[in-house]
Amino acid sequence: MTQEVLGAGDTTYQQTITAPAITSGILDSGVVMMYFGYTDQNENNDVEPLENYMEAIYSQGSILLISYGTNYSTEAQVRYVVIPGKVLAGTSFQGMSRTQIKSMSYKQLTQALGNQLTPSGN
């Protein structure tokens, strides 16, 4: 992540990830889910929603990650999952709003998508 000092005690870290799976169709009718994976002090692997750690701004073909005050680039991995609108309309998510889907844990999402999930990001 690239450091940007905005003023005394005001630092951000930014990185752009190339994400060709994020198309205009995904931005219009799909959902992009972002997760933050890390290993804790007891060597346990965990995955949490990215927004617990940093902001993500989506655009066609890329994701801008912004962290306020902490450079996470050496201690964690970011994973994104792109869900097309046609999958959202399928049985796994029937009756769920985008907000409900976006609040799913990584484990819940992988269970809901089953074999439709193709890992993206790193």
pLDDT of residue 116: 57
Q: pLDDT at residue 111 above 90?
A: no
Confidence band of 76 (pLDDT split at 50, 70, 90): confident
The rounded mean pLDDT for the chain is 83
CA distance 45 to 29: 32
Domains of the chain, residue spans: 2-115
Cα angle 91, 36, 1; round to 5: 135
Strand order in the sheet with 120-121: 45-49, 31-39, 76-83, 120-121
Determine whether domain 2-115 maps to CATH 2.60.40: yes
pLDDT of residue 117: 54
Condensed to tens digits (0 to 9), the pLDDT of residues 2-56 reads: 888 877 778 999 999 999 999 999 999 999 999 988 776 776 677 888 888 899 9
Confidence band of 60 (pLDDT split at 50, 70, 90): very high
Report the percentage of the chain scoring pLDDT > 70.
88
pLDDT of residue 88: 81
Helix/strand/coil percentages in the chain, nearest 5: 25, 45, 30
Residue type, 76: A
